[in-house]
Structure 1
Amino acid sequence: MPIGLEPAHATVTELLSALRSREVAARELVALFLERIDRLDEELGSYVEVTAERAHAAAATADDRAATGGALPALHGVPVAIKDLNLWEGVRTTMGTRSLADWVAPTDDTIVRKLLDAGAVPLGKTSVPEFGTIGHTDTALHGRCATPWDLTRNAGGSSGGAGAALAAGLCAVAQGSDGGGSIRIPAAVNGLVGLKPARDRVSSGPLFGELSFGLSTGGALTRSVADAALLLDVIAGYATGDPGMAPPPPRPFLEEVGAPVGRLRIGLDRQAPFSPDGLHPSVAAAMDRTAALLEELGHEVEEVTLPIDASISDQLRTLWAANLASQPVDQSMFEPVNDWLAEVGHQRSAAQAAGAQFAIQLVARRVVAATAHLDAVVQPVVTAPSRSNGHYAGWEGEAVFADQTAWVGLTPLANLTGQPSISLPLHHDPEHGPVGVQFLGRPWDEAGLLRLAAQLEDATPWRRVPPGFG
């Protein structure tokens, strides 16, 4: 398997080159990743279901297709992990909750079907917090998910298993979703690229549709910006019944990688309005380093304070609570934070939920207007290093939610406004490991974010392998 870099930590574009030239077979890659999962994942807890039989069958199909010499699909033979919040027909989909411990998905989510149709080889389902509510992956059903950078700390969430698996070399790309930072948070703490697409760019259908008031979107965690662009090309697009449709890009997103960037005007937002301790020194250092790098590249950087007040946290809580309260499952089995949130949802009225959505729309308009003169805004992803595994043991649900609100800071802002946002692993702290920062883009301008992100990747290569997972 003579790929230049160890295949387990190669990018999708590198693996595709080897697969298409038949330097490596899809069967070989699947065998490699399944062996690594079997050997390494017990201490991580990134997978909740490994679908070895399906993976071997999909790899065989990919190799047979390559042998014919015809055109190959965009993700031909690439091993991918599927998030356990997403439906994959015939596969157990627990969403991290005991109330769905044995539920088998009756259909594919649109995003999953697009990955499969593009030739990806699925390895299994990755761990999530219960219903993806918080940014800390530790459930009564599946246990905790650690970051491979420090097994005593959590991989974040809600795409925590996705982030841990990709960082540890247990897949080549990890599908995720983001309703309040759930792609960007695990990307930041695991040293990965995490792109939250713009609202309506990626379909949420077909079975559940839009249950999160426009806050959530599908996406992926990747090792490189080019991989993020390629995956967006694969998963983007309208599907019948979607509540909205993003404007189509003028050209494939992958073509933006390496395209001229020009001199940009970039805001630097250091706010941590919900954290009594402000930014941890490692996060503050990451912001300083990013600002300096942007200026070195010729961009104009200005400090900004976005028009947000603490009340927005309560409005978000109302919508998330309404979502939890509407789940058609045995809610008596909920874990503390969701038990509390569901109770809040049952207590608040439909008028309050509508009012919260209206208030959020007003905030979104103010933020977009206040940043209209900027090409992007740099923000922290989280305010401090990842919480330790077991951090919330014995906590009341309301206290867990308050602590998470302080930790994730303004990361849900992009979900409110619908703007694209990308987390990049631009800083590595000697004590605390990867520290990502995020870039909030113009509405529907993933293209601009990808051009800037690729420039930063060229200037500061970030690919690192966690010790013990090479």
Structure 2
Amino acid sequence: MIEELRDRDAVGLAALIAAGEISAAELLEATLARIDRAEAGINAIAVDLRERARAEVARGVVPGGPFAGVPFLLKDIFQEDAGVTMTMGTLALKDHVARTTCAYVRRVREAGFVIIGSTTTPELGLKATTETVLHGDTRSPWNLERTPGGSSGGAAAAVAAGYLPMAGASDGGGSIRIPASYCGLFGLKPSRGRVSEGPSIGEGWEGAVCTHVLTRSVRDSAAMLDVLAGAEPGDPFVIAPPARPFAAEVDAEPGRLRIGFSTRSPVGGRVDAEMVAAVAGAARLLEGLGHVVEEAAPDIDGELLARCYMGLYFGHVAAMTARIRRETGCASSAFHADTRALALLGRAMSAGEYVALREHWNGFARKLAAFHERYDLFLTPTTALGAARIGELDTPKRMQAIAGLIDRLGVGKVLMKSGIVDDLAFRNLERTPFTQLANLTFVPAMSVPLHVGADGMPVGVQFVARFGAEAMLLRLAGQLERAAPWAGRMPVRH
């Protein structure tokens, strides 16, 4: 029974509970058994709330809702659940307990989910790999020597390993789509304002961060977006509601779409042959389904966009580490060397320099909108390179030593001019240069698991839509899922 349940999506599990074929308590214990069998090798759980979940189910306090009784894992950053530890992957917050419950978690609970814990994330959600001093290394269920990606790496690993069919995730530069690609999952980043970040956050990273889930099935993602979508009082940006429920879009035909594609890295880096093959295969599939597919890309300076993204990155790391130090009294040594270097760069940047970079975002959005006047969607690889080996992306000791010395001396401008900035930017974005465009232009984008590499690792392709067009993405994703099903493609059971 445990193995049979592993293959069901969240909508399917909720239906079993509603029909009385399984109880919430039985499903919870089956889920925990799968976690216990595999977690030692995968290490996807940051905070374990199983005893609280058992008590809630036993008392019958789980609310009704479309997912009543289905287990759920939050992400261990900004998905605040009052009274629960939220570490954000850093030693500085290892004992931090959330004081409030955010709108996201409240809506998860109201939908009937049973929260059983939270998943690992890189320190402060800053990397596309999930390896921390606090929690250790989270590993891909497809290959335990490789990362599941980040920053929603723990969520992706948990879902791919079959712990449960859906987990909380967020995306400020690819953090839903990158791990979706590496772990063979479906990952949708919504438009700005589609899911509230409140109440403690207005808009994460100037609206670049969006919160949703990682799933195996398209219908789970759509049904969950129906649960999560909608503004909260005081939200700074309110998006128009959908014409009908997102769940209704999955089985609807998308019509004949015009799709432009590109496999060239916007930062001039390498693009692995498997990623090119994934896009080529997707293009053939799309043409076979009646869509028009041709090579075309928005007229956007990819290197400028990367610099703008890194400026956002530096500035927010500086602000976040300063706030944590102020609130906890921790020393700077509580953070990883990479995080300290990023914060130093943010402190060295002037307000004027930051604003000058931020002003370019409108230009990117205008040019992407011009592209979308000609093409419904933009197709790219989700990532340029495959999942890194554990430890492969660690900053070399020499660079750590230089950055540490400059940090102690407090001369950030020297670091800005040392060449380390360019190296950091390229190291951060060479593997994953395709995803930041959707964040800085606030549009929805999705990674779809259509390809498997020669090494057996999954490879996703990305579709970028115009603002507010999640329905179009879900219609196409549903069509692709029917035409080239991926549900049966799962890693070796650990």
TM-score scaled to structure 1, two decimals? 0.95
What is the CA deviation profile of residues 247-298 of structure 1, one whole-angstrom value per residue up to 9, with x for unaligned ones?
Answer: 1001100011111221111111212122532x11111110110000000000
DSSP-derived class of the 2:277 partner = helix
Q: How far apart are 1:432 and its partner, in Å?
A: 4.2
Q: Say whether the 8 Å CA contact 1:368–1:417 is kept in structure 2.
A: no
Specify the code of the residue in structure 1 equivalent to 2:280: D
Aligned to 2:284: 292
Residue 69 (structure 1) aligns with: none
Structure 1 Cα separation of the partners of residues 184 and 244 of structure 2: 29
Distance 1:60 1:252 in 2: 32
Q: Deviations over 1:79-102 (max 9, x none)?
A: 111000121111110001111111
**Partner residue in 2 for 1:138:** 131
The one of 432, 435, 438 aligned to 1:411: 435
**Alignment pair present for 1:430 and 2:454:** yes
Match of 2:348 in 1: 347
Which SS does the other structure have where 1:200 is aligned? coil
2:450 aligned with 1:449, yes or no? no
CA distance in 2: counterparts of 1:272 and 1:432, whole angstroms? 23
2: distance between equivalents of 1:142 and 1:345? 26
Stretch moving more, 390-399 or 297-306: 390-399
Deviations 1:383-436 (A, max 9, x none): 111010011335246545422211111211110111111111001123041001
CA distance in 1, matches of 2:485, 2:39: 27
Aligned CA distance change for structure 1 residues 211 and 195 (closer, same or farther; 3 Å)? closer
Is 2:419 the partner of 1:402? Answer: no
Matching residue of 2:44: 46
Which amino acid letter does the alignment assign opposite residue 481 of structure 2? E
Instruction: Give the Cα separation in 2 of the matches to 1:432 and 1:324.
Output: 36
Aligned to 2:32: 34
String of CA shifts for 1:329-358, please: whole Å, max 9, x gaps.
Answer: 234422122211111110111112222111
Alignment-derived partner of residue 122 in structure 1: 115
SS in 1 for 2:169: strand
User: Which portions of structure 1, spanning 4 or more consecutive aligned residues, are displaced by more than 4 angstroms?
Assistant: 61-65, 397-401
Amino acid of the structure 2 residue aligned with 1:21: A
- Kindly state the Cα deviation for residue 117 of structure 1 after the two structures are TM-superposed: 1.2
Instruction: From 9, 13, 16, give the equivalent of 1:15.
Output: 13
2:337 counterpart of 1:366: no
Greater helix share, structure number: 2
Q: 1:384 to 1:22 in 2, by over 3 A?
A: same
What is the CA RMSD across the aligned residues, in angstroms? 1.6
Task: Tell me the CA shift for residue 224 of structure 1.
Answer: 0.7
Structure 1 residue ranges without an equivalent (≥5): 66-71
Name the amino acid aligned to 1:271.
R
Amino acid at match of 2:39: D
Asked if residue 147 in structure 1 is aligned to residue 140 in structure 2, the reply is yes
Which stretch has the larger CA shift, 203-212 or 221-230?
Answer: 203-212
SS at match of 1:151: coil
One-letter code of the match for 2:467?
Answer: P
CA distance in 2, matches of 1:320, 1:148: 29
Q: Given the alignment of the two structures, is residue 329 of structure 1 paired with residue 324 of structure 2, yes or no?
A: yes
Distance in structure 2 (CA, Å) of the matches to 1:214 and 1:332: 30
Native 8 Å contact 1:267 1:377 kept in 2: yes
Tell me which of 85, 99, 103 is aligned to 1:106. Answer: 99
Q: Which residue of 1 aligns with 2:403?
A: none
| 2:141–2:161 contact (8 Å) kept in structure 1 | yes
The separation in 1 between residues aligned to 2:438 and 2:29, in whole angstroms, is 38
* Alignment pair present for 1:235 and 2:228: yes
Count of paired positions? 460
Does the C-alpha gap of structure 1 residues 63 and 15 become closer, same or farther in structure 2, counting only changes over 3 Å? farther
Decide whether aligned partners of structure 1 residues 383 and 432 sit closer, same or farther in structure 2, where only a CA change above 3 A counts.
Answer: farther
Query: Does the 8 A contact of 1:230 with 1:253 survive in 2?
Result: yes
Q: Work out the percentage of aligned pairs sharing the same amino acid.
A: 40
Q: Distance in 2 between matches of 1:155 and 1:329?
A: 27
CA distance in 2, matches of 1:95, 1:361: 30
Corresponding residue for residue 213 of structure 2: 220
Mapping for residues 195-344 of structure 1, pairs under 5 Å: 195-277=188-270, 279-309=271-301, 310-327=303-320, 328-330=323-325, 331-344=332-345
Rounded to whole Å, the distance in 2 between the matches of 1:388 and 1:375 is: 36
Q: CA deviation at 1:64?
A: 7.7
Provide the rounded CA distance (Å) in 2 between the counterparts of 1:166 and 1:55: 19
CA distance in 2, matches of 1:179, 1:185: 11
TM-score of the pair, normalised by structure 2:
0.90
